[in-house]
Each structure stands twice: as C-alpha cells, then as structure tokens.
Structure 1
Amino acid sequence: MSGLVLDGVSAAYRDTTVLHEVRLTVSRGELLVVLGPSGAGKSTVLRVVAGLEPVTAGRVHIAGRDVTEARPGRRNVSMVFQSYALFPHLTVVENIAFGLEVRDTPRGEARQRARAAAETVGCAGLLDRRPGQLSGGERQRVALARALVREPDVFLLDEPLSNLDLALRAEMRAELRALHDRIGATMVHVTHDQTEALVLADRIAVLRDGRVEQVGTPDEIWRTPASTFVARFVGSPAMNLLPADGPLRPGGEAPTLPDEPLEIGFRPEAVILDAAEGTPATVDRVEVIGEDAYAYLTLSAGQPVVARVPAVRRPERGATVRLDVRWADTHLFHVASGRRCDP
C-alpha cells in the first residue's frame, strides 16, 4: 500500500506555477528525500501534502485516501520545520504533547505518549526544560518527538538539519535514519544537501524548476544520472561534461554513437592521470582534502576537467599531464535535451 501519492500535482503562487504535474509515489514505510536547489519547489511539495497550499491540478492521496480537498487537520500528517517552531513558553513535555491536547486527548494520556516519544528520539532527560535552554540538536529531537507523538500516516521534514553545524548534522543524519528504520514510518524529507540525500534516502526525487527530473535509489542517482542537471547537481565536485566530438577520446571499446551532438560525462574519480597516450591537459590548481586531492585541469581546447587522485601523487600546479578515461566509466547525454543517451 502506498503511503503517499502525488498524481500530476501542479501548484501556483499568484500567477507563477511552482509545481508542474509532479508525480511521486512513496511506499508505506519508505524514506523519500526530495532534493534540489533553492527555488526548485521542494518545500511547496511538503506544503501541498500537508494541505497548507492548494493544488491547481492533480490529486493528493495519503494512506489510500484522496485528501486533495481535505483541511490540514484531517490529513493525519506531521511536519518538522527548519526553524523547529517550538513554543518558547512551554516545557519540552508540553511542546511534545501540545498537538494531542488541542485534539482533546486527555492530558494524562497526552503526557504519557509525549514521554514515550521523547524516549524514542533521545530527549527524555529534557522534559522539564524550555526551548531556550536547549542546544540546536536537542531542539531538533524535541521537534521530531512532537511529530512522532501524533502517529501520523506521513512525516514531512522540511530541511530539519540545515541549522546545525557540520558535526552535529552528521550525527543527526545517522539518528534520523536509525529512527526511521526503528519505527518504519513513511517519511518525506526535503533538502538541498546532496550528501544528506545520499546517506538518508531509500529513494531520491530530484526536482528542478518544479518538475521531477529523476526518481531513483541513491545508487541509481549517482551511477546513472538521467540528465546533465542531475549529473552536475549530485556530486562534489560535479561530474565532468565535455563535447563528445572534443579532444578527449576515452579508452577501451567505444559504443555506437547516434549522429547528433552529444556530451560525455564522467566522475572525477574516473580520470586516469599520466596515461601513456592520454589527452594533454594543464594543471590549473590542486585542492588537497585529507588523503585525496582534486586536480583542476584545462584541456588544449579550453575545456575544464576535474580529477580525483591520491594526495601523495598529486601533480604540481602548472604541470602538463596526460589524462584518460575509459568508455565504461562514461555517461552520454543528448545536447539538445540534456537527457541521458543509452546507445
């Protein structure tokens, strides 16, 4: 059974269409990450599901129910906001129980369920504190407990880790993934952080300008990007993209190529430096990150290429190197459409 279905959903803000016929199916118990740059429509997807934004076309189904016209309170979803949205004058236990109490759940039962939810997310020792006495990570746990306590059909998480520092973000990523696996909840998590998406997701939906560019597992998104947009957006540094008729000629058995303009894409780790008969390139700069180094190169025709190499074997700035890449490690894209080409 599907936990959530967006069936051709469009949404507009004033005269601007923000979502264009979005089709997404989230299985029950799945963690789907919606990934994309600012302005892609990620948060609008969540707001449409929550009933905070109307749709101009299409239908929204939650747990098998058509909720397109339903008010937010009747959709049985919980949302975790980027700002956490905790009430500063309430204690942690009061914040967690608030949603239950306003729905006329007896106070004793609401507090008991709040304590159980706090235990699940690891903030049971904070129940008598107020939000101003909590760290960013603690406030995040409280916000998750408040969403969890309602036992919703779908959890909606709107960039919940973006306000945390790098180390705490990594810790909370692991905790969020573990929480999902433990409770088996249906979750839709929005982020612009590709690392967060790759680590957390069962599947990723990449959005671009309000349209779904690709949906797939993290491995599929990484290894078989459906377009040059996905190829550039997922990966840091991004995938190299060069004209197929340019100076670089990948080694190995070449596929049969269609007679049209194409681009060749390949990850920095696929580049082989100091190849005996490779394509000449000049080293513009080198960035060392621990045991790895990224060499930023320019081919003779002016195209840029990034190569990942061991830091101990990094080339010197200004040096001329020869690079190669095997056909097996390349991706082909149609120039006209930007979509993947599978010859």
Structure 2
Amino acid sequence: MTSIALFNNKGGVGKTTLAYHLAHMLSRLGYKVLAVDLDPQANLTSMCLDESEIEELWNTSSELIAQGAAPATLHGTGRVQEGQTIADAVWPILEGTGDAAHVEPAPLKPGLWLLPGSLDLSRFEDKLSNEWFKSFAGDPAAVRTTTAFHRIVKHAAQAVQADVVLIDVGPNLGAINRAALIAADSVLMPLAADLFSLKGLSNLGPTLRGWRRSWQTLVLPQVPANISAPAATMTPLGYVIMQPGIRLDRPVKAYERWLQRIPALYSGAVLDQHPPSHDDNQYRIATLRNYRSLMPLAHDARKPMFDLKAADGALGSTQTYVQTCYREFRDLAENVLRRVDEVR
C-alpha cells in the first residue's frame, strides 16, 4: 500500500478536483483506492456524497434540502453512517478520553472508498499545534495526538485492503496539514502557472524538509513501542500543471513565463538540488487542460467528468471532450503509479 497526499500551499488550483478524478481513475484501472478527506473544508466529501448523505453523516440538517435547492433522498442507503468521519475519529483525543477511534470508510463504487471529512475537524488544529513540540520530548500523549491521522488512515486502508491511499489536505501550512503530510509516503503537487503557485512552492519545499527532519531525528527515536507512528517520508513525486481556462490546447502566452520558472524552482525549493534543474520533463507528471465546461454536468450527475454520457447532457462535441478528459486522466494515473515505483 502507498499513500499520496495532494498538496499545494496555494488554494484554488483544482487540488480536490484532481484528487477526486485521480481516485476514480485509479479504481477504474483495477486498484483498490481509499480517498481520505483531511481538509477541514470537507470539499472532497461534498464531491463524493450527495446532500442527504452528508446530512446523515454529520447529523446536521441541510439548509439546501430545506430550501429545496438540493434533492432529498431516502436515508439508510448504507453508504454512510452517522459519526463516521475523521473528526469523529479524533474526538476521544480532544476530550482526553482515549486514542483515536476507528471509522469505517464509505463505499463509493467497487474498489473505491471514502474516509469522510467534516468541518468539525478544524477543532483539532489547536490540539495538534500544542502537542507538536511536546512530542519532541517523547511525551506519549503528544505523540499519540500527532500520529492520530496515521493510525486512522492505516486502519481504514487495511479494512478495505487498499492499494493506494489519496489524501486531500487544505491549502495551508498549519498543524492539521503537518500531521496529514507526516502520515503520507509521498506528495503530489498540483500547480497553476502563476505567481501565487510559485510562491507556494518556495514556502512548501523548506517547510516539508523541516517537518521531515524534525520528525525523523527528534521524534521517531523516542516514540513508545505501543504507538504506531509514520516514517514521515513525504517523498515529492512531482507536479501536475493545471492549465487556465482561456485556451484548451496550451497555456496562454501570459502564463508561459511562469511555466518556464517552475522546473528550477521545484528542483531547488522542493528537492533541495543545487544547482537546480531546468528540465521540465523530469518532474512534471502531467499537464491537464481546463475542463470547466464539464464540471457542472459532472456535479449534477454525481460522477467524474470522464464518465459523462449523453444522458448526462454530454452531447455532440462535448462527448469528444469527455473522451479527451478520460485519456488525460488515465495517462496521469499511470504516470503517478510509475513515479511511485521509481521513488520507492
């Protein structure tokens, strides 16, 4: 089993959309996939489940359903159960009553499961932040808190015998993301060709190295034998360029200067290579065109863009676009798996 965190310090680059479609494509290719929503905004959960399922999962009345803006479907379908989110799993730690609880993944389709998120996960931020430096001294309670995500994800992955775990995290360098990334074997970075993504890369690389170094040198040697802890490898797999929506065949000219700067910045800031490499093909896993016109159809159909049919509204030339989308995500999935094998 391998775990991959999808992360960029800059938001709005399509990270969750990428995680959702990559998870579906990997399962299409025959792999057992567990998608994990460790973003307190729970965007991946909202993409995977319909409104009534989220209402049931969170035990909270949906305003959209109440206002008639979202359809109310029958409860008890079996895909979700109340209290089975990441936030529920860490609640015993927050209350001081025990270790993280096990939660059961929600089946989305054969070979694909979701470990759902919740907005309540944000409550765990302060607890993780306070316990980080205490874990350097080998404090068992602090180590148990910092490694909670690792054990939750590990148990869920074992329960479904997952081949690949995809972890979606929020766009920041806070304590929740630190704990999430420490639990990941590798990191895949979606990027937009703009100043903000490049600035995010320059922040991200040194931060990841600092977290890895602190964990492996200061914490791991002192972890009690009865606490399962991650190795915090966080190996960078590469980056995926998410094209802007103005042109479909190639990035617009205004973005080319940013594209040209990404390879050197990635190899220097993220991989700590000096001198940095300017070879774009060495670390760029894929370039995905903008499929914004397909997203509304996919959202209404509750399926990936590359699975849209004529009955979903993908008619005429749009169906050709769907087929192009399928080829690009299939190539992306195969390239990601290839990179995982290369860095092992």
TM-score, with length taken from structure 1: 0.34
Name the structure, 1 or 2, with higher relative contact order (CA <8 Å, separation 6+): 2
Of the two, which has the highest radius of gyration? 1
| Richer in helix (by share) | 2
TM-score normalised to the size of structure 2?
0.34
Instruction: Say which structure is richer in strand.
Output: 1
